[in-house]
Chains A and B, each alone.
Chain A
Amino acid sequence: MLDTHDTNDAVIKISSLCKWFGQFKVLTDVDLEVRKGERVVICGPSGSGKSTLIRCINRLEEHQSGHIWVNGLEMTDNIKNIEAIRRNIGMVFQSFNLFPHLTVLENLTLGPTLVRQMKKKDADALAMQFLEKVCIPEQAHKYPLQLSGGQQQRVAIARSLCMEPEIMLFDEPTSALDPEMIKEVLDTMIELADSGMTMIVVTHEMGFARTVANNVVLMADGQIVETGPPESFFGNPQHERTRTFLDQILKH
């Protein structure tokens, strides 16, 4: 039996999470709740621990103290728990991390066939459906490195969606892209948000945060400084740290 925990209506609940890299404390007492269908944008200066935080949610990083619950299931060392939680979470990385030796279609069908034990034909159909959703079905038989950065990132999004997760984590999905490609990826993400997906997005794209997020979180030095809906976060920030950050990022 897997331990469950009543987290009310939060699909993700993080409480007093701490993490160290060696002697260096990267996360200090982080508390965060994400409800179903909610879009949370996490921003903050580099090195503030925002990537580490979302990487803890699907255990790409191990936390040393505090708790993470996903759908009431606590993230522990137990491999069963880790797998059960990862089943519900998709992730998109800054550097795409597509599998370069597999075609786009194979990238998408690998998880469904191996993990969800789908038949190849069904997995192919599913993959094509998601490639159409991200508007690049014609690239299915190419290799990732033959595509542009924006197309690669959309493939990566489709690959995550093929696992049909409830929650999507985005770790700076547009930071490695040329400016003209950022929009196509953001559009895909907005479409995903409109479909009701629960999303946690680490990004510097404040326009995206303003229009899509229900909640914007500012992190600095491993702590959450300010949380709030975009209107108050941008319009009336409560903390000095938030104001300097917004000044710096919105000035140019």
Chain B
Amino acid sequence: MASPSLANPAPFDPDARMPAVEWMKRNLFKNAFQSVLTIIVSFAIMSLAWLLFRWGVLDAVFVTNDPQVCREAAGACWAVIGVKHRPMLFGLYPYEEHWRLVLMIVVYLATVVISLWPRFWNLRILVPLWIASVTAITVLMFGGVFGLRYVPSNDWGGLPLTIILFTGTVLIGMPVAVLLALGRRSPLPFARGISVIFIECLRGVPLITILFVAVNVFPLFLPQGMEVNKLLRITVGIAIFFACYQAEVIRGGLQAVPRGQYEAAASINLSYWQTTRRIILPQAMRIALPSITNHIVAAMKNTSFVIIIGLFDILTATSAVMQDPLWRRYYIEAYLFIAFIYLFFGYALSRYARQVEKWINIGRI
């Protein structure tokens, strides 16, 4: 029989099928030192897992309304989520109106799921869809019509606020980012100058500064009596900050499109905008997609900066809720719950981006 190394010249080939025992012998217990390391590390991992399991499952309290029950238990108090989930998820929004927020989240998720499907990538579908769902969400959130109670945007909070900030940031920020990226490469000195100044100035300051300006300084420049909704100002502020970073990412993609593409477009007499829209941008966005996703995920988490201007996004709302003296010692469980929600959305985003990359590779989009 041939020696194993000849029969299988690439010992780390992931496709090579090996019996489990053989695999362990080769990778975990190759010599004495490795075997000792394996035993120590696996002991550490298993005891940690056991501790977590005991804390999180065996000794945990899952359902109770009485904090005393949690106090007597040795493990986690997941019951706090059951007790406090509504103010955590929905902030200061009037308690009896929470169904409107649930409905809002359903409408939102449905709209997003439809929009992410390539078969619906058609402006004649997407534009009416978004107009309809933004209208529906506005009505649900504000109320004041159809017998719904009016809720000012200062009382909005929790997950719906995070969703609105994030979606507003991306919907406003992406087109601005594309324009800035194109402007920075424009042959027109004016467009180039404006874009460079805009990007460099805003990228150079912290997001908090921009939010502060949007909330406290911007109103000073408005004419007497005119007021722009605070939530809108904040969303635009985050969106522009997002756009400045995203613009540089897109510019990277634009630079990677070969010069020959411009020449071919010129030779069939396409105009600047036709070339940009049909030839250059589609390729640049495909190239830049991994980094674009990266910034979108970051933008989702940047929404928690609104704490500084007194809006209660999901993270701030949770911190506020956990001030309750009866339940405050179970903040870890509460934050784990919120972390899970962020993780859910963030992971869904990156899975989707992966899928888009796959579609691109097989030429479906």
Contacts and interface: CB of A to CB of B under 8 A. Distances in A.
Interface in A140-165: 143, 146, 156, 159-160, 163
Interface stretch (A81-89, A178-186, A231-239): A81-89
Interface string A89-130: 111010101111100000000110011000000000000000
A71 interface: no
B283 A100 contact: yes
B363 A143 contact: yes
A87 B263 contact: no
B54 interface: no
Q: Which of B266, B268, B270, B282 has the most CB of A within 10 A?
A: B268
Contacts of A110: 268, 270, 278
Interface in B57-99: none
Contacts of A86: 266-267, 269
Interface residues of A, number: 26
Nearest to A95: B260
B8 interface: no
Nearest to A114: B274
Given A110-B278, A143-B363, A98 B264 contact: yes
Contacts of B286: 101
A196 to B, nearest CB: 21
Given A99-B279, A101-B282, A115 B269 contact: yes
A99 B279 CA distance: 7
Interface in B255-296: 258, 260-261, 263-264, 266-270, 274, 278-279, 282-283, 286
Nearest to A83: B269
A60 B261 CA distance: 12
Contacts of A115: 268-270, 274
B269 A99 contact: no
A111 B266 contact: no
A91 B267 contact: yes
Interface string A132-145: 00000000000100
Contact of B269 (A97, A100, A111, A146): A111
A101 B283 contact: yes
Nearest to B264: A97
A181 to B, nearest CB: 19
A148 to B, nearest CB: 17
A179 B160 CA distance: 63
Nearest to B279: A99
B260 A111 contact: no
Interface in B130-181: none
A83 B266 CA distance: 9
Given A101-B286, A114-B278, A93 B263 contact: yes
A95 B264 CA distance: 10
Q: Which of B260, B267, B269, B282 has the most CB of A within 10 A?
A: B267
B84 to A, nearest CB: 49
B113 to A, nearest CB: 25
B267 A60 contact: yes
Contacts of A87: 269
A221 to B, nearest CB: 25
A58 interface: yes
Nearest to B272: A79
Contacts of A159: 264, 268
A95 to B, nearest CB: 6
Contacts of B261: 97, 99
Given A101-B282, A110-B278, A93 B269 contact: no
Nearest to B275: A114
A95 B266 CA distance: 15
A99 B274 contact: no
B219 to A, nearest CB: 44
A101 B266 CA distance: 17
Contacts of B266: 58-60, 86
B124 to A, nearest CB: 15
Nearest to A91: B267
Nearest to A116: B269
Interface of B: 258, 260-261, 263-264, 266-270, 274, 278-279, 282-283, 286, 363
29 contacts: A58-B266, A59-B266, A86-B266, A86-B269, A89-B267, A90-B268, A91-B263, A93-B260, A93-B263, A97-B261, A97-B263, A97-B264, A98-B264, A99-B264, A99-B279, A99-B283, A110-B268, A111-B269, A111-B270, A114-B274, A114-B278, A115-B269, A115-B274, A143-B363, A146-B363, A159-B264, A159-B268, A160-B267, A160-B268
